[in-house]
A and B are shown apart, each in its own frame.
Chain A
Amino acid sequence: MKGELLNERALVMAPEDTVATALADLDAGERLDDADPSVTVAEEVPFGHKVALADLDVGETVRKYGEVIGEATEPIAAGEWVHTHNCESTRGRGDRAAAATGDGAAAADGDAGHAGDGR
């Protein structure tokens, strides 16, 4: 596996990443001493989800795989769970384009499914 293990419990994919992926259900209070600087998990982080390795301000980029995966929408402290509640994509945001042009009609039909067809 590529990346660096933190106490066998989480995985950092690249040195410049600001999040690690939980390889088990992490509990609040758990320490990831292998991180530099070390991090105390602040809340439950489920298997496969991300924990912050650094403090992030609103608008700051979140990095995984050594790449930008989105930006913080709330202040995030090291050790906190990073997910859709505090991190969002900067891409494919037709809703923002619609809001900027005042074109609410297109947004109102809500057919996001075809744009992404996600599974």
Chain B
Amino acid sequence: MDTFEGYRRPDGRIGVRNHVAVLPTSVAASPVADRIAGDAGRWARATPHQMGTSQPEEGRERTRSVLAGIGRNPNVGAALVVELGTEDIDADDLADDIAASGKPVETLTVREVGGTAGALDAGADILVDLWDEIGDQRREEADASELVFAVECGGSDATSGIAANPALGDASDRLVDAGGAVCISETPEFIGAEHVAAERCADEETREKLLDRVERRERLADLMGVDMRGAQPSPGNQEGGLTTIEEKSLGALAKCGTRDIRHVVDYGEAIPVGGGVTVMDSPGYDVESVVGKVAGGAQVVAFTTGRGSTTGNPIAPVIKVTGNHRTAERLASNMDVDASAVIDGEPLGEVGERIYRTLLSVADGAETAAEARRLEEFAINERQPRELAAEGQR
């Protein structure tokens, strides 16, 4: 049986990190949140983001639900919600949502504690108190079936579809076979491969939902009168040898392995634990896509890159995998697994096993390259007016 040691949370879920999260409700509170966490210690992680103090209703709801999901992620042991005090997202409501998972949560209003100077002082005190509550928690044994594993790719090239993604797919199959959950997102990267994904859906309802989401993303391009090739594949992807969205999609899909797709969820929505393969409807922008899956409960992310992405996440460790031997050398300090040996003839299963073992050891506490370098990008996908208009025309 495959096990790891993690932090058991009051709601029964298991975290692989014991962070105190500092969550700003708007861009106005983001620098303060960032400073409070930065001054505290490595256990404190901020999620500064770009959303405004007043957003249209749909946008506000997305921001709120993503932040709540991040706060509920089992890698978070306790949370501090920071607001300026003028936001239309209510910090107390958000804190209540997170506290429903049983963890300690506090709020801080910059305008009520003497501005930023007072907020830094008060925030530091609150963080110390929160850390006192969770800092002595010990890891306990947990089963691989309790893991939710997010698979992502970014800065793809031709080696991604040939080596890194199939190898990650092999690791995904191993986790699903052990009872765990794998979540893939980036709906635009299903275009041209949706028939392959559809065949893998466990039932008709899942199949229809998946095809509907893919069609919606493609229709968005049609409605806007744009050629999707302007962004898909990206200029960097094209330099790496990827010619069309179909080619990129077929390669990208390989990273979630070959097992049944059982669920389709919306951006940031909870990913079923033990649910096999879940597709999350998200944009193709990798940082936002990772954040959506972490908000959905993913504890560990594996991120393949051919051209060499360096990105991480504040809440979930990000394992970097490359199938490009040049990238493995040039960006050695940012990579965790070199899958380029697949191209030299190492059996896919051996590299897949290596990625799976890396997943378990990272879940056990081993630091990833992105964590060691404190690469903690965070961005929430904003619901654009034209996206909403497109939905209205469904």
Contacts and interface: CB of A to CB of B under 8 A. Distances in A.
Interface of A: 1-3, 11, 13, 21-23, 46-50, 62, 64-65, 67-70, 82-84, 87-98, 103-107, 109-119
A47 B157 CA distance: 10
Interface residues of B, number: 59
Contact of B157 (A11, A13, A48, A50): A48
B50 to A, nearest CB: 15
Interface string B325-340: 0100000000000000
B218 to A, nearest CB: 5
Given A11-B162, A110-B226, A115 B285 contact: no
Interface of B: 154-155, 157-159, 161-163, 166, 188, 191-193, 196, 217-218, 220-234, 236-238, 240-241, 243-247, 250-251, 283-286, 288, 306, 309, 324, 326, 342-343, 345, 348, 384, 386-387
Contact of A94 (B159, B193, B228, B251): B228
A114 B348 contact: no
Given A89-B192, A116-B284, A118-B232, A70 B247 contact: yes
Given A21-B162, A115-B220, A91 B228 contact: yes
A21 B241 contact: yes
Given A84-B243, A94-B221, A117-B285, A48 B342 contact: no
Given A2-B166, A21-B241, A94-B226, A119 B155 contact: yes
Contacts of B225: 94-95, 97-98, 103-107
A25 B362 CA distance: 36
Contacts, number: 184
Interface of B is mostly: helix
Contacts of A118: 188, 231-234, 237, 284
A62 B47 CA distance: 44
Contact of B345 (A1, A98, A109): A1
Interface of A is mostly: mixed
B321 to A, nearest CB: 15
A45 to B, nearest CB: 9
A64 B243 CA distance: 11
Contact of B228 (A48, A70, A89): A89
A117 B217 CA distance: 11
A98 B227 CA distance: 10
Given A1-B348, A65-B250, A69-B246, 18 more contacts: A1-B343, A2-B166, A21-B241, A50-B241, A50-B243, A67-B246, A68-B192, A68-B246, A69-B244, A69-B250, A84-B229, A91-B246, A111-B226, A115-B217, A116-B245, A117-B284, A119-B154, A119-B286
Nearest to A105: B225
A115 to B, nearest CB: 4
